Amino acid sequence: MPSRGRHQTTSKECKQTIAKIESLDGVIGVIIGHSYGGKSLGKNSRTGAVKVQRIESAGIKAATQSAKGLQELFVRTEKGKVKSIAKKITKLS
């Protein structure tokens, strides 16, 4: 019997955005975190838009707008490339 209350909110546009992030030079991988239904990145955000929330020593904490809410992302990066990758992710939106 399937678990009740579980659903996947990562839309087609979010998966495309994640694939673009994974293809950037210096990205080790993208970890998909929690999703929050009914939340938004802002007034002018579209499905698949991504926003860098903060830069950490091991990577970048970000969020992407899905059709049903927000999807948390953590982008693992190679050492020394965090800031340049964060700039590239910002330009994807």
* pLDDT confidence bin for 7, thresholds 50/70/90: very low
Q: How far is CA 83 from the centre of its chain?
A: 16
Q: Is the pLDDT of residue 89 over 60?
A: yes
Taking the model in full, what pTM does it have?
0.81
Give residue-wise pLDDT tens across range 10-55: 678 888 999 999 999 999 999 988 887 777 777 777 888 899 999 9
Helix/strand/coil for 26 = coil
* pLDDT confidence bin for 9, thresholds 50/70/90: low
Dist. CA 93–CA 91, nearest whole Å: 5
